[in-house]
Amino acid sequence: MPPLAYFENEFQPVADCKISIMTHALHYGTACFEGIRVNWNDVESDLYLFRLREHQARLLKSCKVLKINLPYTVQELCDLAVELAQRSGYKEDVYIRPLAYKSSETIGPKLHALEDGFFMTVTPFPPYLDVEKGVRACVSSWRRIDDTMFPPRAKVTGLYINSAIAKTDAVDAGYDEAILLTADGHISEGTGQNLMMILDGKLVTPPSSDNVLLGITKDTMMTLARDELGVETEERTLDRSELYMADEAFFTGTASHLTPILEVDSRPVGNGQIGEITRKLMTLYFDIIRGKNARYREQWCTPVYRRS
């Protein structure tokens, strides 16, 4: 079956979905999006969308920042995502990408008096970073976009040019991923991931006021650390030096899952191996996202083929 998308109020082959080269969003980055994992459960032969409602709710908040009026409620967006996954018939891990955009064919950077467009795609998607082996990261010389420039809590396409330059410079320098600091030099996040670390047995991560996206995977890890492992959690401003002294560190994100960071700026994190708490969180998380943990299934997982 050819890849499908939901576009202009119908499900149709991606190859038939066309937009104009004059589209405002293409010229000015005036679009916002989500990434939603749909995970294959081999025992049940079913797919599970992970924390679908939270993703669609975040999309509507990003739309508000861009003054995009989508004609859908959170529930309607959830139903569309499930139907897109169902109709596509995948039996492997896939990724759903809803995207809302300024569709007017008009010159001029602005947010007002423009038409809105929307589509949703689905595509096979293996882990984005090397989850099994872990990664080497560097602190980028580029700073994370600040709330005084554009709201970084909104998942807006134009903002990702900040991530793109940091990522490519890191890869060109031989690293796997970049860590961006805030304008005043505190740790913010990765290019498409939140950053978390274990310091003296506590799980710590930068607060949203340090210009991080309000990560759903980060929230998942905070919940699991607290409720399953009895590990204390804290959101606070973090210095670069704390990253060098952390016992464990990892990235979290829908695409990246939980990816251990083994090295930062050519210094090993902890003993340079995947840490004990990181390992425990990984084990819990990978079962949960496939609907294999009864405690979180109802709350966080939406089945695709077997509607409950």
155 among known catalytic residues? yes
Amino acid letter, 52: L
Nearer to ligand PMP, 33 or 101 (CB): 33
Least distance to ligand PMP from the beta carbon of 168, Å? 15
Least distance to ligand PMP from the beta carbon of 216, Å? 3
Q: Which of 102, 155, 167, 218 is catalytic?
A: 155
**Residues 18 and 96 sit within 8 Å (Cβ to Cβ):** no
Amino acid letter, 181: L
Q: Collapsing DSSP states into helix, strand and coil, what is residue 61? A: helix
How far is CA 173 from its chain centroid? Answer: 24
CA–CA distance, 178 with 265 (Å, rounded to integer): 10
**Residues 264 and 249 sit within 8 Å (Cβ to Cβ):** yes
Tokens of 46: 């079913």
Q: Collapsing DSSP states into helix, strand and coil, what is residue 77? A: helix
Nearer to ligand PMP, 136 or 167 (CB): 167
Q: Where along the sequence are the contacts to ligand PMP (CB under 6 A)?
A: 35, 163, 189, 192-194, 213, 215-218, 252-254
Least distance to ligand PMP from the beta carbon of 227, Å? 18
Nearer to ligand PMP, 121 or 254 (CB): 254
Nearer to ligand PMP, 88 or 254 (CB): 254
**Residues 223 and 295 sit within 8 Å (Cβ to Cβ):** no
Strands 177-181 and 135-143: parallel
Residue (of 166, 257, 156) closest to 213 by Cα position: 156
Least distance to ligand PMP from the beta carbon of 234, Å? 18
